[in-house]
């Protein structure tokens, strides 16, 4: 009967634990943000009449329809088509890939992921005529793995609504 060297076994387990914790730290799981603050029409600025309550007028789109697998940056515009209404949006998009008709979430982690508060406000006080818009970026080098040719979409959270900005990655 062989004897088990518990010190050697403990060292191997410790090394495996260190390796696994390092690989998950830079690419956290992509989860939907907490939207509970919007359950009662949350606004952090004083003019409630300029704060969007409906959010059905929010759209999102990319600056182009197609990008090469080696792209540097994709700009996603988020726009409220309801003039004069400021809106809240989550400043980190989630990326999904269309795998044979099923949208699968990818591990995307921009450098700003470490910032604790990711909800932002897009508004100009006392401007009741403009359609407010803002932009966020998707950086090609912040995806765990590689960008394969196919259909993708940026999942954007605006208040309690979710909007999508589709784009295609092509091999050139």
Distance linking the first and last C-alpha atoms of the chain:
60
Overall number of domains in the chain: 1
CATH number at residue 106: 2.60.40.1930
Mean pLDDT comparison of 23-32, 38-47, 99-108, 115-124, highest-scoring range? 99-108
In a domain, 3, yes or no: no
Q: Which residue has the higher pLDDT, 66 or 9?
A: 66
In a domain, 124, yes or no: yes
Cβ neighbours of residue 124 closer than 8 Å, sequence gap 6 or more: 86, 130, 132
Of the candidates 165, 167, 125, which has an alpha carbon nearest to the alpha carbon of residue 149? Answer: 167
Residue with tokens 């060297």: 5
- CA 79 to chain CA centroid, Å, is 16
Q: What pLDDT is recorded for position 61?
A: 98
How much of the chain, in percent, has pLDDT values that exceed 90? 46
In a domain, 70, yes or no: yes
In a domain, 63, yes or no: yes
pLDDT tens-digit readout, 51-103: 888 899 999 999 999 999 999 999 999 999 999 888 999 988 899 999 999 99
Task: Indicate if the pLDDT at residue 15 is higher than 60.
Answer: no
In a domain, 87, yes or no: yes
Cβ neighbours of residue 18 closer than 8 Å, sequence gap 6 or more: none
Average pLDDT score over residue span 96-115: 84
Average pLDDT score over residue span 112-127: 73
In a domain, 14, yes or no: no
In a domain, 64, yes or no: yes
pTM score: 0.77
In a domain, 46, yes or no: yes
Question: Domain range for residue 59?
Answer: 30-170
Of the candidates 33, 120, 32, 20, which has an alpha carbon nearest to the alpha carbon of residue 78? Answer: 120
Q: What pLDDT is recorded for position 45?
A: 62
């Amino acid at each position: 009967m062989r004897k088990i060297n518990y010190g050697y076994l403990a060292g191997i387990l410790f090394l495996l634990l260190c390796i696994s914790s390092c690989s998950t730290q830079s690419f956290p799981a992509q989860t939907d943000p907490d939207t509970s603050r919007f359950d009662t029409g949350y606004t952090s600025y004083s003019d409630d009449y300029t704060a969007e309550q409906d959010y059905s007028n929010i759209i999102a789109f990319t600056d182009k329809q197609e990008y090469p697998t080696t792209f540097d940056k994709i700009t996603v515009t988020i726009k409220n088509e309801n003039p004069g209404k400021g809106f809240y949006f989550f400043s980190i998009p989630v990326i999904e890939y269309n795998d044979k008709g099923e949208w699968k979430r990818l591990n995307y982690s921009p450098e700003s992921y470490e910032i604790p508060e990711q909800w932002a406000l897009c508004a100009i006080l006392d401007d009741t005529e403009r359609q407010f818009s803002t932009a966020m970026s998707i950086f090609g080098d912040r995806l765990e793995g590689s960008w394969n040719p196919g259909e993708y979409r940026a999942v954007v959270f605006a208040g309690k609504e979710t909007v999508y900005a589709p784009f295609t990655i092509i091999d050139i």
